[in-house]
Amino acid sequence: MAAAFCLFLSLIFLFSPFPAQGEIIAEIKQKQGEDEPYIGVNIGTDASNFLSPSDLVSFLQVQKINHVRLYDADPDLLKALAKTKIRVIIGVPNNQLIAIGSSNATAATWVGRNVVAYYPETTIIAIAVGDEVLTTMPSTAPLLLPAIESLYSALVASNLHSQIKVSTPHSASLILDPFPPSQAFFNTSMTQYLLPIVKFLSRTQSPLMMNLYPYYVFMENKGVVPLDNALFKPLTPSKEMVDPNTLLHYTNVYDAMVDSAYFSMKNLNVTDVVVLVSETGWPSKADSKEPYATMDNADTYNSNLIKHVFDKTGSPFHPETTSSVYLYELFNEDLRSPPISEANWGLFYGNTTPVYLLHVSGSGTFLANDTTNQTYCIAMEGVDTKTLQTALDWACGPGRANCSKIQPGESCYSPNNVQNHASYAFDSYYQMEGKSPGSCDFKGVATITTSDPSHGSCIFPGSKKEGNNTREVVNSTQVTSGSFLSYGSNRKSLMDSFLTSLCTIMFLLSNSYF
């Protein structure tokens, strides 16, 4: 019945008057201007075997990532970014604030060494002065504005102040009573520092940088904030958050956080500063204390956020203005201190394989080579044989992966070891599940790779070399007379797979536009 209903819906979809292909392409092209909202990435470097600057830049170009935020001004990386047109926010580390805020000469030297030396070959667009200084280093607060103004004066002296903005990223915790957004206000104990900073941003037409994490809002308000609100999932009207003062409807936590920043500035009588989201994201892994830090949720949040930005719907309070966003972060930083979630915010592992599969095809130019393309699931190196064997047995048994080619005498039997056989079985299951988030895990012994693991005559299920060969389903690592499904059962399975695929295509087509 479900399959028949799905087919019925598919036919409706196919013959419904959806927008013409030309209209869809035209809309995507409209998203490519530099004045349009964009998605960038934060690049933290606390990762083992971190890419060389040249390799990192090549990776950014392959992924079509055109905006990055650095937490410092690494000279080798700034050199590597030259002539790439990748737009860069460089950072003043917190430990340099005191020196820069205390001396105009030090600020001028910093700009000469880290900006003038590379601009315009390296497209530096902003300086982020410190990071969450007012909440993490309150004793340094009096020096924050002097540091900002000294750096700005140095840019003026070099005639770069109109091309390069100066701002400072704030923590969302600086905003008190954030919901409803119309009641939000900046922590009054920091007003003496914030008011002149916001006025500076207004005077220089610079953005208010905010680090906004719906993940933490959800974790701190479980039972009050539904998970769907935090993940941008569609809501029924009854579940939408309504601001009783403005009657504005909020379908997601992110928009409410953006508007809380706007209302907080409004309470300081500043209404002409745009919010730039300098950090946001969702962790993909954590310990038992953070059960919602999963690959599925991380994929859902970041994929939906990207679509939300490129839809250019703004926020309920400012529908005419869509904030640009920097995702936290590009790579997992495995050298970060506990908790485990701290090391697992990345879109990619340090070796550039995706942590999970963002679904962003058609969403502007960011990651236009959707990370669902040509990925494979293989066994991780260094896992003990017993653990791998257990995962292999599950994949070929309850998982119903096609394990026929790793049987004796078949093309993928050699080399005859658990590592090789597990990799083939894992990839078979992963491809069978449509590369869905979480389907390449096997209790932590599998990993995603973009390198085709096929070798010799052994062609892996996800390889383009495989073609459209018919795949049989094996439910055991040992082939016996009872291993294969009966013909009638297999035919039904194939029909179900066809209908499921048709529904999936229907879903993807609809989401690629809307």
Q: Which of 149, 279, 329, 333 is catalytic?
A: 279
365 within 8 A of 36, measured Cβ to Cβ: no
CA dihedral of residues 52, 57, 61, 65 (deg, nearest 10): 110
474 within 8 A of 403, measured Cβ to Cβ: yes
Q: Please say if 132 is a catalytic residue.
A: yes
For CA atoms 303, 309, 311, 315, give the dihedral sign: positive
For CA atoms 150, 259, 88, 53, give the dihedral sign: positive
| Structure token pair of residue 154 | 């140095």
Spell 497-511 as b/e; 16+ CB within 10 A means b. eebeebbeebeeeee
256 within 8 A of 181, measured Cβ to Cβ: yes
How far is C-alpha 166 from the geometric centre of its chain's CA atoms?
A: 25
CA angle 310, 311, 315 (to 5 degrees): 105
**Tally of CA atoms within 13 A in the half-sphere of 241 that contains its CB:** 24
Please give the DSSP secondary-structure letter assigned to residue 484: B
CA angle 388, 391, 393 (to 5 degrees): 110
Identity of residue 502: L
The residue assigned the tokens 């890419």 is 51
Q: Which of 23, 34, 36, 132 is catalytic?
A: 132
Please name which of 429, 314, 328, 339 lies closest in space to residue 377, comparing C-alpha atoms.
Answer: 429
- Catalytic residue positions, numbered: 132, 279
